[in-house]
Structure 1
């Protein structure tokens, strides 16, 4: 059986506050821990009405503190938004508090709009071309700074010793994330674990994974390629109900893909009132072909089929089931049911 993990964007529904959304995600993480799933990752997105995952280190601390054994990490930290030392300090401290349980997934995209990118860097040029072009250097700096023995930084002819945390005994496991061949090649060359954003892109996955595997060079961290597959998943007792629950997230993604204003995610009954044009339905159908939406038996079979097709032994589920009218705001029972039905 393929190992299962979770990716969480901490979605905010039309009936929720940000606090409600966080409480629902903490409950979801406890369910994943209880079910014996492998890892639980949170994303980094900014200035989006339907996403409360703005600060992965804060969320990771909360989730790791609310769970017992599951690995917790970022999917991912968008490195051009941050100084490498800040990220190194955050994750070194998380690893010190929860040894052996922290993953550091690193991405190159901004995860937001240009204005918010500018604000993230105190107005210092936003996520500039220079920050993106220096991404490989930033990755090296970040990994060196987290080393338990510290790192020497050469400044004005002198070497200064730098430790991300004073007495580290272990370090987080780093992963490179991407939705193009850039990070696949970089991860292969640096001998790092790699994940392609199949749940978001859905195209070019096989090519990216093949590029990663073919360019992989063994490193002190990893002897052979390591990757997994990310999937948007909705599972319900019946396929018909699963399709209903998928609709709110489909409409959110439709707005994102067509440049419409974003809003909090609608409830199932709200989403069902929309009448899509033929072109809109085509976009939704094309996206949904790459999702796993169905009853428990059909969904599990599809997950296993995709895992075998892409040659992975772990699948990270992005549970996107919408909630019904009357759901308690601080809960996400349909997302929890997706995990329970797949893991049963």
Structure 2
């Protein structure tokens, strides 16, 4: 009996190259989402990051509306909304409306990290203290609030001895699927306790995945939302017709992640040709090589086999690919052909 076909999905940070405007980057992501839709990918998630020169994914609900409107069938969601940055009611309202507009196609992935620097965190709260310790410590309560507010029956809020009912939308007939996301044990335990789907950020952390998934699966308690554990794997991928080109295309993103992890200044994503001119200290080269070894980089057959091996290793039947292939000099600013090629080649 043959193994079941691996379900593929997409994670998009809406990367910004040095030759792109924000409008160009969004246009390239819309084209990428349409490619994923046509190829049969299961879902397309956008991240939340702020004040970064190479990332235009600052507002998941806005991007989700744009991408869902530009596609036909693919599920569209957040990977994820950083809940301490926002009032729970605002998130519930935004995603209730997205679900009303695109019923059965919306995922709400929720994370606990701020997704930015402390100054921007402060600004996100309109100068009212930023992502305070209290907001982070109340994360489980905020998750409960979002779940309850999107329910058709709403949630009761007690104010001055009276109960007021809050609805995220007046007449909900369905709700988005809610996922908890994380890169540590915390969210794995919380998702298990609340009986919610869970995703560990393997593409970012690279280690600790097996332990987090084991904590989630062994501690899972069935809930009205879910009767058994549900998870998938996230992976950075660069795929081309030959392995040498795939590695060339991955180099700009590898150098950007290296800068992030070593505290270097960040910039817009450079071209393949610019990245190839960079000479790194030996210690940094070793760190870059270690990151590359955890990514899926290569020609199609090898890349597909590696995805299948990772899925089997972690006991999942879905892999969410972050297509990290960069662009050569002279590429149309409003397009990301190497990212689209990665999706096409992985889909077979």
User: Shorter-normalised TM-score: what interval?
Assistant: over 0.9
Q: Give the superposition deviation at 1:114.
A: 0.1
Task: Show structure 1 runs of 4+ deviating over 6 A.
Answer: none
CA distance in 2, matches of 1:115, 1:162: 32
What TM-score, normalized to structure 2?
0.98
Among 22, 31, 51, which residue is 1:18 paired with?
22
Q: Give the superposition deviation at 1:286.
A: 1.1
Aligned pairs, number: 344
Aligned to 2:133: 129
Aligned to 2:215: 211
What TM-score, normalized to structure 1?
0.99
CA distance in 2, matches of 1:74, 1:94: 12
Q: Give the superposition deviation at 1:99.
A: 0.2
Instruction: Work out whether 1:44 is the aligned partner of 2:83.
Output: no
CA distance in 2, matches of 1:91, 1:148: 13
Runs of 5+ consecutive residues of structure 1 not aligned to the other structure: none
Aligned to 2:266: 262
Aligned to 1:170: 174
Moved more, 104-113 or 272-281: 272-281
Q: Deviations over 1:175-231 (max 9, x none)?
A: 000000000000000000000000000110000000000110000010000000000
Q: Give the superposition deviation at 1:37.
A: 0.5
Aligned to 2:302: 298
Q: Give the superposition deviation at 1:150.
A: 1.5
Aligned to 1:277: 281
CA distance in 1, matches of 2:325, 2:319: 17
CA distance in 2, matches of 1:60, 1:251: 28
Aligned to 2:63: 59
Q: Give the superposition deviation at 1:243.
A: 0.4
Aligned to 2:101: 97
Aligned to 2:112: 108
CA distance in 2, matches of 1:277, 1:43: 31
Q: Give the superposition deviation at 1:123.
A: 1.0
Moved more, 42-51 or 274-283: 274-283
CA distance in 1, matches of 2:285, 2:155: 54
Aligned to 1:147: 151
Q: Deviations over 1:287-328 (max 9, x none)?
A: 111100000000000000000000001000000001001100
Aligned to 1:223: 227
Aligned to 1:343: 347
CA distance in 2, matches of 1:287, 1:277: 16
Instruction: Work out whether 1:83 is the aligned partner of 2:87.
Output: yes
Q: Give the superposition deviation at 1:249.
A: 0.1
Instruction: Work out whether 1:8 is the aligned partner of 2:12.
Output: yes
